[in-house]
Structure 1
Amino acid sequence: MSRVVVVCEGETEEEFVRDVMAPGFYGVGLYLEPQMVETSPGHRGGALNYDRVKLHLRNTLCQKSAPVVTTLLDLYKLDKRFPGFEQSKAIPDLGQKLDLLRRELHSDIVAAAGCQPERFIPYIQPYEFEALLFSDVSALTQVNPSWSKKSIERLIEIRAAAESPEHINDRPETKPAAHLERELSNPSYRKRRHGPIAAQKIGLAKIEAECAFFAAWLARIRELAQP
């Protein structure tokens, strides 16, 4: 089985890779191993500084086991020191913005690691993990039976107003997580507690069907299994 290291934004993404993504790849002979970046001594994940991300990616790519390495990072609040960040701000089209960021990240990391280009697959999720949960609002709200019908209806409206779950935008008050935290109460939505469970209820196939950028990334990983 071939090993693919997925460098994640935080603990929720780590659980998502382990419990939702990885089982879907076992059948094609790929083992997805989530990892988080050390952000301070003894702490990992969240508020990712590019220098630390770069160091982690370089060191992982230099391992003797020579794994393929990919990333699952949020576009929302991406560190401005990421390669191409300043240029990307002037690009209104989401796909073109992501293409630029991926190209620049790929170039910088491959140069730093001195590895074969095909061993690094950069991916940045628009705009954050919670966007994926809007793939199926009904399944999402089944996580807790106390979440009201009114909340479900409001989240359906939010999803319907966007081109796709991944286009729910990145302003602090209208990013995907902000909508969930505002609309879901008693108990309030908490990323670490509810996010991975919701993703499992929705299922990988549904997320791929609704989220084109995410689906294209998974398709690229699946290509690694081809002889």
Structure 2
Amino acid sequence: MIRVHVFVEGQTEETFVREVLSPHFLLRHIYLNPILVRTSATGKGGVVTYAKIKPQLDRKCREDSNSFITTMFDFYRLPQDFPGKNSLPPTSDPLQKAAYIEQQMAQDIGFPQFLPNIIVYEFEGLLYSNPQAFLAWFDQGVVDQLHAEREVFPSPEHINDGATTAPSKRILKWCPGYEKPLHGSLIAIDIGLDTIRQQCQHFDEWLTRLEAIR
């Protein structure tokens, strides 16, 4: 069984890895182990600075050299000290920007088994893969608004990272009762991994890389 340690920002992503991604990968004899990043000696969750994250990645690469290490960090509000954040290529394509950050992280960590991944722009963007899944929790009016917003963009991963227009901010605007730890992973489960992969190219490329591990 191949082991892949997945460093995640929060409990929602941890649940998503365990309940949505893990069953898919177990069929391929790949075991995913979600790890909630530490922000202090006692605190967990959230990417505060790269300076706090890098030692955790380094340590796991060294202590389990027979496994692979990856990440599930949001591009939205990614700390400025992340490798490549201050030298992004002059492009409006968020997928290229995320790929550049990943390349820079891989170079900085320097372990061949480290396969970084950045979510474009954030976890909630994946939920725009099928807004109809929100109907289990919210009314049709909410679903219609989310559908309308989704249609403005080429893909869920292109929904921008503005302070008031990022995917999570848009969802909260129409769904004031949305609670990420409660609704996020459940809605993702209802959408299904296949649909998310079809809608989200960068996310699909990450899973394809993991599936190719031998």
TM-score range relative to shorter protein: over 0.9
SS at match of 1:22: helix
Determine whether 1:176 maps to 2:167: yes
Residue among 186, 189, 193 paired with 1:204: 193
Q: Structure 2: how far apart are the matches of 1:173 and 1:198? A: 22
CA distance in 1, matches of 2:130, 2:96: 26
TM-score (norm: length of structure 1):
0.91
Give the conservation status (yes or no) of the 8 Å contact 2:47–2:73.
Answer: no
Q: Measure how far apart 1:11 and its partner are.
A: 1.1
- Following superposition, the deviation at residue 92 of structure 1 comes to 2.1
- For 1:72 and 1:55, locate their aligned partners in 2 and report how far apart those are by CA, in whole Å: 16
**Structure 2 residue matching 1:62: 3-state secondary structure:** helix
- Contact kept, 8 Å, 2:36 with 2:45, in 1: the verdict is yes
What secondary structure does 1:21 align onto?
Answer: helix
How far apart are residue 89 of structure 1 and its match? 6.8
Q: How does 1:1-227 map to 2 (within 5 A)?
A: 1-64=1-64, 66-88=66-88, 90-110=90-110, 115=111, 117=112, 119-142=113-136, 144=137, 147-185=138-176, 188-225=177-214
* Uncovered stretches (5+) of structure 2, i.e. residues with no partner: none
Alpha-carbon deviations, 1:5-55, whole Å to 9, x = none?
A: 011111111110011001101111000000011102211111431011100
User: Between Structure 1 and Structure 2, how many residues are aligned?
Assistant: 214
Evaluate the alpha carbon distance shift between residue 216 and residue 99 of structure 1 in structure 2; reply closer, same or farther with a 3 A threshold: same
Q: Letter of the 1:45 partner, please give it.
A: G
Task: List structure 1 runs of 4+ shifted beyond 4 angstroms.
Answer: none
Structure 1: stretches of 5+ with no match in the other structure: none
The Cα RMSD (Å) is: 1.3
Shift of 1:170: 0.2
Matches of 1:64 and 1:171, distance apart in 2:
38
